[in-house]
Amino acid sequence: MRVALRQQRLRHRQQISAAGWRNGVVGQRVEALHERADLCERVRYERATGG
């Protein structure tokens, strides 16, 4: 039973990657969000330290 479930999940993941969903638009959006957050943190830190 567990093996079948694991295979099902694996197949689903392969379908997602085949569609380019995770590595495509959503992945890029997430990356952009993280970069923007890092930038904001850096600016905030520099302002706080007077750098």
Position 2 in a domain: no
Q: How far is CA 6 from the centre of its chain?
A: 22
Higher pLDDT, 28 or 48: 48
pLDDT at 48 over 80: yes
Reported as a single tens digit per residue, the pLDDT across 32-46 is: 888 898 888 989 999
Number of domains into which the chain is organized: 1
Which amino acid, one-letter code, is at 2? R
pLDDT band at 20 (very low <50, low <70, confident <90, very high): low
Domain with 32, as residue range(s), is 23-51
Q: What is the DSSP letter of 1?
A: -
User: What integer pLDDT is reported at residue 8 of this predicted model?
Assistant: 80
Cα 2 to Cα 6, 11, 12: the distances in Å are 6, 14, 15
pLDDT at 22 over 60: no
Position 39 in a domain: yes
